Structure 1
Amino acid sequence: MNVKDNLKVIQDEIESVTAHAPTIIAVTKYVTIDRAQEAYDAGLRHFGENRIEGFLEKKAALPSEATFHFIGSLQTRKVKEVINEVDYLHSLDRQSLADEVEKRAEHTIKCFVQVNVAGEDSKHGFAPEEVIAFVKGLQGFEKIEVVGLMMMAPHIEDQIQLRTYFAELKELQHQVAALGQSNAPCKELSMGMSNDYLSAISEGSTFIRIGTKLVG
């Protein structure tokens, strides 16, 4: 199917569960520039990449109105190569990365703190109990704005358990926002992908990252 038809299916599904449509990020890491352009032509304006090379290629090729999200793990030594092209960083997952972003960024970067809610060894991110202290430690950082929290849910069939994880991140987002920290408004939630975005939206996700189901 073409991207426009895929997008219509996704939008119809979203409307069936919420009146508050989240921002759809087209995850284009496995597709060509032409396919990413097709997504743009279908009306999508947010694009996600997880590798620096692919990120820079797509950003150079697409119109300047496109907003770019870096959604992959970012090595500290690679920050200088990409950070000033980034609109949103979804993988702020350690203090050393925050320090390097603060050092290298020439504009304020909208960041999601990555949280490993399920405690999976294969996933990056802070344990939930570490997040408040980390965010408090960012006071005084001028180049980092914690706009929200991000998670990658486990690949499980149990939708009730999935929603429990998403709800836990939502509660943590409220706790961070309640700090009232000027560089951490933390109003957003980046959670939900092709296999679980409806559950994520039901628990308050405001950004969903869709690859396979949208662009292939």
Structure 2
Amino acid sequence: MVVENYKEVLENVKKAALKAGRDPKDITVLAVSKTKPNEMIEELYNEGVREFGENYVQELATKMETLPKDIQWHMIGHLQRNKIKYIIENVKMIHSVDSLRLAKAISDEAVKRGVNMDILLEVNVALEENKFGFKVEEVEEALKEIAKLPNICVKGLMTSAPYVSNAEENRQYFKRLNKLLVDINDKNIDNVCMSVLSMGMTNDYLVAIEEGATHVRVGTAIFGERNYNK
């Protein structure tokens, strides 16, 4: 079932991309596997899927130890500074850098381990109180500071839009994040050339693609509803 769901998501991505005049190959689907067992991940892995997203450090660290080493893991959930060390050598990208302090801590750990870390700045475009992230107007100044830090590279921006029943309601936030990325790139800040827009989840990823998403984070549409009581 998981494989069929994934293929259906890919087909939807293709349609949304073509509708927006984009190449479907420019969009990465992250299979968000939080709370899901290794067996389900392995089903997708056996079909050639390698890009997975996880929200929790402890769960991610456990899966990294037990699943194939060529999986490209993306840390998409809130990251505490004291937990960076558990994942930094094994994740492809950290999507959820929501403060200058966190960026500095990632840089310090990356230097210590001798690795380079790709990151995205999380932007709270909708100004939701229960969400982390920079405000839109804070991003440029933060970026200028973060771009000076060693061993990390800001690849782009990420947002988690509000949970809505009508995906169209979130179009404004995706559009604004895309505009922010374009505007910042136009300013030619030293060491800043961003190309990644991580936005859109199960309920709104098609709208996000129409507004320029390069990475969509899809969990429920692939793995089914989550059981948080386990």
TM bucket (normalised to shorter chain) is over 0.9
Of 31, 35, 38, the residue aligned with 1:26 is 31
The TM-score with structure 1 as length reference comes to 0.94
What are the equivalent positions in structure 2 for 1:115-154 lying under 5 Å apart? 115-154=123-162
- Please state how far the C-alpha of 1:60 moved relative to its aligned partner: 2.1
AA at the equivalent of 1:62: L
CA contact (8 A) 1:197 1:208 kept: yes
> What is the match of residue 189 of structure 1?
197
Matches within 5 A, 1:100-111: 100-105=105-110, 106-111=114-119
Distance between the aligned counterparts of 1:190 and 1:139, measured in 2? 19
Q: Retained in 2: the 8 A contact 1:39–1:215?
A: no
Identity %: 35
Which blocks of at least 5 consecutive residues in structure 2 are unaligned? 225-230
TM-score (norm 2): 0.89
Matched, 1:155 2:163: yes
Give the Cα separation in 2 of the matches to 1:183 and 1:27.
30
Unaligned runs of 5+ in 1: none
Q: 2:50 pairs with 37, 45, 48, which one?
A: 45
Shift of 1:182: 5.1
Of 62, 65, 74 in structure 1, the residue corresponding to residue 70 of structure 2 is 65
CA deviations on 1:27-81 (whole Å, 9 max, x unpaired) are 1112001111112112211111111121112222222221110111111122222
Matched position secondary structure for 1:24: strand
- The count of aligned residue pairs is 215
Q: Counterpart of 1:5?
A: 4
Shift of 1:161: 2.8
Secondary structure of 2:87's counterpart equals helix
Residue 95 of structure 1 is matched in structure 2 by 100
* 1:186–1:24 Cα change, 3 Å: same
Q: Using the alignment, how far apart are the partners of 1:169 and 1:139 within structure 2?
A: 19
Cα distance in 2 between the residues matched to 1:60 and 1:52: 12
Decide whether the 8 Å contact of 1:47 with 1:69 is kept in 2: yes
Q: Are 1:17 and 1:202, in contact at CA under 8 Å, matched by a contact in 2?
A: yes
